[in-house]
Structure 1
Amino acid sequence: MKILHTSDWHLGATFEGIGREEDHKYFLSWLIPFLKEQEIVVLIISGDLFDQSQPSAEAQKIYYQFLLSVSQNTKVQKVIIVGGNHDSPTRLDAPAELLKLLDVFIVGGISFEGKNLDRYLCPIKNAENVVELVVVAVPFIHEYKLGIRTSFQNENEIYSLFKEKIQKFYFDLAEAAENIAHGAPIVATGHMACCGSELDDAPQEIHMIGTMGGLPSTIFDSRFSYIALGHIHRAYRVEQSNAYYSGSPIPLSIKESNFPRYVQIISYEKGSKAKTVQKFEVPVFRKIIEVKSNLEEINNVLLNISWQTPMSPILAITVQVNGYRSGLDLELKNLLSNKFQENSPLIAYVRQVPAKSENVIAKNNETFSLKELTAEQVFLKMCDTYNEIVDENLLQAFRSLLNEENI
């Protein structure tokens, strides 16, 4: 039996206002034949299916067309979808009964009313109606849902309590799953930040314990032979455990575009709990490329840029200038369109930052007391810190505000 693990699609996402619909369509048009070729039986999507809790009509259309295509064009017996912190639990759960007709099993969010653990259990049976696998579908869990209140506790207390509560939840689920597995492998899901993640591996922190670091792999019961995790956009194994992140399948940021994107396949031999885990690189439709330099070098880079992806890259451009240059973004766009005409690279943004000389850098390293500086000097230093170009118009606007404050 083969299971494919993916997560963090973020359908409907944009990069600096540029829609990623075509990137997602390209990924999904690759995934459908890949599922068939690899003879995948179970597809797991571990949260953040959508980028927004209220996804666009186009994002939802892509989602439903994909599920229909899986049903019609592959041998997948079950699609398991759990909600992430970006997803609306109720929106995911709303069509769950209807989507059962396409063999889709959805758990949008958790509820402890009655503690009905069966809601999270999805047994996979063979033609003889024998259970060959049990998937424990756990979505994103906010600490509030576990009864944790953070108002009168310090970080260490919150961390310990959250770890204890979530470990107990996974233990109870493992007990319930074992009762119906009858010796078959048990796979779980999760959407959280575990040990090994870095600050920019995910779009945002999702727990109050974020400043304490990720959760340890010890929260997962040892009876789970694989834990399919979501939230972190980089593919890695958590502390040599059975917990794995598959990462996002399309690059959603500059950093993500510098590394390959993956899906993971977990294979079980018939009648065995032994597994193999393989990463498969996802072909990328287009990359996000950061370009930082002075204007002369940037012009040279843009005129000589090349790519191996089907679509031209998205460019994030930062130009070092001595003074603000009006219309520079249009100038660079025209340069690209004249050079490439069709399939020209897209410019996400053009940011202008001060070109710093060695004297300026040395001067910036000096320390001052606020008492030694005027309000205007503080303003100029703040602008310099945030790479904000200060021209005469901005300075005049600040002086006007300062004068109004002193009236």
Structure 2
Amino acid sequence: MRLLHTSDWHLGQTLHNFERGHEHQCFLDWLLDTIVAEQADALLIAGDIFDNANPSAASQKQLYTFLQRARQRAPHLNLIAIAGNHDSPGRLEAPAPLLQAHGTHVIGHVLRDADGNIDVERMVLPLTDKGGAVRAWCLALPFLRPGDVPRAPAQAAAPDGAAAPDPYLAGIALLYRQALDVALARRQPGQAIVAMGHCHMVGGEMSNDSERRIVIGGTEMLPSGVFDPAIVYAALGHLHLAQQVGKQAHLRYCGSPIPLSFAEVGYRHQILRVDLDGEALGAISALPVPRAVELLRVPSKPAPLEQVLAELVALALPEAAPEALPFLEVRVRLDAPEPGLRARVEAALEHKAVRLAKIESSSAARGASAAPLTLDQLDQLQPDDIFRRLYLQKYASEAPAEQLSAFAELMLGDKAP
């Protein structure tokens, strides 16, 4: 059978206050066509469907319209979605009964009974082919918080002095083991077992500009050992760069379908096509997602202001509809403060078919870090002393007289009644 693995849609995300609904809609339309063209049997959405826990009405409508259209165009499709760390588990699961009636399974959180026992069986779902026969089983575990995982038996430190396993990591491993046991008990010969997870695996490369770090009790990254060898494929979410975990090709992040920050301009955004051959993993292929709106960085590396302005004036871009205009990050290296920076950049971009999203400024040189001060020394510092020190640290030169005069005037105005 054929699976499509996608994650980290972040519906409702804005890029420096610019709405991105058009880009997300282009992706969803493309995904619908791809489901049909690839004759997919299942679509796995590995978390972070929404950008925040309180998504807008428009982004929710985008999701539910997509699910409805997917059901219409591919009635046989198995569709499984799990919550990520950006999602609200309760909000995501609220319409679950209605969605399940139309072939969509949403797992937002871990449920427990009155005695505190985890309902593991609800997270083990069958994957059927076009004829309705079960061909595989999916362990659909959402983003796991400490209260979601079972308490693993306490383990002492190893004789060689190594620390005992972290209880949170041990709990995650135990929950995957429990889910796998359910799947092994249910499956018949010829049926594969796949897993879903939203987590940061050891060795995973992240985008610092757009990914929210997952730090729980000092533990963030999960070892690949949480996935038993009986699991032939793990569909992972959270990291926006498509990558495999270590050298294990069956443990995969598909990445986000659109660039969520300028740090992701060079990413190859994609979904993954995964073919299962009976109980075994077949081929894994990347399906590139067309980029509906370009993200530009001018220049490619920070440069002096006059050079940057010249490049902006020379920038030639084709006309486009307002929602399809490229987003632009301008990267400037400054030797001194430039109060009129934004006005000069905007003037250079006048009548250009582009949307100015960000001006990233950096200094040409940075002075050596100042020696740490004692509390007594800090107490003796005056505001203008701090201003001088910060200016020197950022621009590697003394603050000019006109800057000091302006700062003094500002301080006097702040003290006025």
Q: Choose from 274, 278, 282 the match for 2:281.
A: 274
1:189 aligns with 2:199: no
- Per the normalisation by structure 2, the TM-score is 0.82
Alignment of 1:147-158 (within 5 A): none
- Per the normalisation by structure 1, the TM-score is 0.84
Alignment of 1:3-402 (within 5 A): 3-74=3-74, 77-113=77-113, 114-126=117-129, 129-146=132-149, 160-183=166-189, 184-198=191-205, 200=207, 203-208=211-216, 214-241=221-248, 242-269=250-277, 271-291=278-298, 292-305=302-315, 311-321=324-334, 323-338=336-351, 340=352, 344-356=353-365, 361=366, 364-365=367-368, 367-368=370-371, 370=373, 374-375=381-382, 376-382=384-390, 391=403, 395-396=407-408, 399-400=411-412
Q: In structure 1, what residue type is equivalent to 2:136? A: L
Specify whether residues 94 and 303 from structure 1 end up closer, same or farther in structure 2 by C-alpha distance, changes over 3 A only: same
Cα deviation, residue 214, structure 1: 2.0
**Paired residues of 1:7 and 1:246 also in contact (CA < 8 A):** yes
Higher mean displacement: 240-249 or 112-121: 112-121
Residues 331-354 of structure 1: per-residue CA shift (max 9 Å, x gap): 43343242x3xxx11111335555
Q: Percent identity?
A: 27
Specify whether residues 208 and 17 from structure 1 end up closer, same or farther in structure 2 by C-alpha distance, changes over 3 A only: same
Q: In structure 2, what residue type is equivalent to 1:370? A: L
Q: In structure 2, what residue type is equivalent to 1:253? A: S
- Separation in 1, partners of 2:413, 2:149: 49
Count of paired positions: 386
Specify whether residues 400 and 204 from structure 1 end up closer, same or farther in structure 2 by C-alpha distance, changes over 3 A only: farther
Coordinate RMSD, CA, aligned: 3.2
Q: In structure 1, what residue type is equivalent to 2:309? A: N
Residues 369-404 of structure 1: per-residue CA shift (max 9 Å, x gap): 5368844333333356568xx845872377459989
- Separation in 1, partners of 2:409, 2:284: 60
Question: Which SS does the other structure have where 1:111 is aligned?
Answer: coil
Gaps of at least 5 residues in structure 1 are 150-155
**Paired residues of 2:202 and 2:221 also in contact (CA < 8 A):** yes
Cα deviation, residue 295, structure 1: 2.4
- Separation in 1, partners of 2:31, 2:244: 22
Question: Which SS does the other structure have where 1:45 is aligned?
Answer: strand
**Paired residues of 2:172 and 2:226 also in contact (CA < 8 A):** yes
Structure 2 equivalent of residue 153 of structure 1 = none
- Separation in 2, partners of 1:284, 1:245: 19
Cα deviation, residue 283, structure 1: 1.1
Specify whether residues 172 and 272 from structure 1 end up closer, same or farther in structure 2 by C-alpha distance, changes over 3 A only: closer
More helix by share: 1
Gaps of at least 5 residues in structure 2 are 153-161
Q: In structure 1, what residue type is equivalent to 2:126? A: P
Question: Which SS does the other structure have where 1:208 is aligned?
Answer: coil
Higher mean displacement: 137-146 or 193-202: 193-202
Question: Which SS does the other structure have where 1:165 is aligned?
Answer: helix
**Paired residues of 1:158 and 1:209 also in contact (CA < 8 A):** no
**Paired residues of 1:230 and 1:245 also in contact (CA < 8 A):** yes
Cα deviation, residue 226, structure 1: 0.6
**Paired residues of 2:274 and 2:284 also in contact (CA < 8 A):** yes
